[in-house]
């Protein structure tokens, strides 16, 4: 961006020139000049790529939790027959409750939707034109509110507060105000929920891998086969850890980019560079994830 401040006014300026200078300054303050639309659109697209990569990680978290639950149930179940004597709990999803994984997917949706709202406001669209996107944020907050899942007490209120802040951004002139009030809330979703989940995800997969390693000891395998199988499981665990590192880096960069977006109208930044960096990290995560999936296939052979 070429604009880095306001033009200096000299004493030789005529009244009309001074008036034009003041109008230009006010247009910057109200956000009409704002961030170049092309740059912000590229940034919105890069956040979408980050969201897709993040949701891939959440899908594996869901899978790991399900596998852990299955193994726990198999080791603890002592029933007189195939039909349980006590009625099992209702199937997941009944009663409108969301799983922990579902809410994290919605959290990524909220991040992407919020970014889209900012882009459209920056483009000068009216409240009616952004109403559908804003309504989506309210829908996300409503879906999560009251659900029972790890972190519900943190994520639900954060999303509700975010929706309320965005609802206040009724015109393009309030773009700067919306950024300052909304961006810190979105970064809390990343810092207080998604980044903390990385450790939980790692622990789940590490526990499953350690169980698999222990099981090799009781299998009827030759020493060479046992050694090969253990090595493959260790390779799988290492590849998964690398993928989580890439995911954490992507989350951290998304958080930093949103913080930069908050300051963009005061201190213009290169959003093309921000978008490129997010895309690079998303691509890195995809590469690490592909390596993990390959290692996992090898470990299961």
Return the pLDDT at 146. 54
Dist CA 156 CA 61 (whole Å)? 20
Return the pLDDT at 151. 55
**95 phi/psi in degrees, rounded to 5:** 80, 5
Return the pLDDT at 127. 61
Return the pLDDT at 8. 42
Block mean pLDDT (10 aa), the chain, length 301: 41 40 33 63 89 93 91 69 58 55 82 76 65 66 59 65 65 63 80 89 93 90 92 94 95 88 69 88 94 90 73
- Domain boundaries, given as residue ranges, for the chain: 36-66+98-300
pLDDT digits (tens, 9 = 90+) for 3-44: 444 344 444 434 444 333 323 332 333 344 456 778 778 888
Return the pLDDT at 89. 58
Whole-model pTM?
0.74
- Find, among 159, 149, 155, the residue nearest to 101 by Cα: 149
- Report yes or no: 104 and 158 within 8 Å, Cβ to Cβ: no
- Report yes or no: 159 and 140 within 8 Å, Cβ to Cβ: yes
Return the pLDDT at 112. 85
The radius of gyration of the chain's CA atoms, rounded to the nearest angstrom, is 25
Return the pLDDT at 116. 76
- Report yes or no: 194 and 207 within 8 Å, Cβ to Cβ: no
DSSP string over the chain: ----SPPPPPTT--HHHHHHHHHHHHHHHTTSS-S-HHHHHHHHHHHHHHHHHHHHHHHHHHHHHHHHHHHHHHHH---SSSS-SSPPPPPTTGGG---HHHHHHHHHHHHHHHHHHHHHHHTT--HHHHHHHHHHHHHHHHHHTT--STTHHHHHHHHHHHHHHHHT--SGGGHHHHHHHHHHHHHHHIIIIIHHHHHHHHHHHHHHHHHHHHHHTTS---HHHHHHHHHHHHHHHHHHHHHHHHHHHHHHHHHHHHHHHHHTTTS---HHHHHHHHHHHHHHHHHHHHHHHHHHHHHH-
């Amino acid at each position: 961006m070429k604009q880095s401040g306001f033009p200096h006014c000299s004493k030789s300026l005529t009244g009309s020139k001074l008036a034009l200078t003041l109008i230009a300054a006010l247009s910057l303050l109200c956000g009409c000049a704002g961030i170049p639309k092309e740059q912000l659109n590229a940034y919105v697209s890069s956040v979408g790529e980050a969201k897709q990569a993040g949701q891939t990680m959440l899908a594996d978290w869901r899978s790991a939790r399900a596998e852990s639950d299955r193994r726990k149930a198999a080791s603890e179940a002592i029933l007189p027959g195939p039909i349980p004597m006590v009625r099992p709990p209702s199937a997941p999803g009944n009663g409108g409750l969301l799983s922990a994984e579902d809410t994290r997917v919605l959290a990524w949706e909220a991040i992407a939707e919020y970014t889209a709202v900012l882009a459209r406001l920056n483009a000068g669209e009216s409240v009616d034109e952004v109403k559908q996107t804003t309504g989506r944020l309210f829908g996300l907050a409503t879906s999560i509110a009251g659900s029972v899942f790890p972190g519900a007490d943190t994520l639900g209120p954060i999303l509700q507060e975010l929706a309320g802040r965005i609802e206040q951004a009724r015109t393009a002139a309030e773009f700067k105000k919306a950024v300052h009030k909304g961006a810190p809330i979105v970064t809390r979703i990343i810092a207080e929920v998604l980044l903390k989940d990385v450790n939980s995800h790692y622990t789940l997969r590490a526990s499953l891998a350690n169980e698999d390693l222990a099981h090799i000891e009781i299998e009827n395998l030759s020493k060479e086969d046992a050694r090969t199988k253990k090595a493959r499981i260790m390779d799988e665990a290492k590849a998964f850890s690398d993928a989580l590192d890439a995911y954490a880096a992507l989350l951290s960069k998304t958080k930093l980019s949103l913080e930069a977006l908050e300051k963009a109208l005061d201190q213009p930044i290169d959003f093309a560079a921000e978008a490129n960096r997010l895309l690079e990290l998303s691509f890195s995560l995809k590469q690490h994830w592909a390596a993990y999936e390959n290692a996992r296939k090898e470990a299961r052979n």
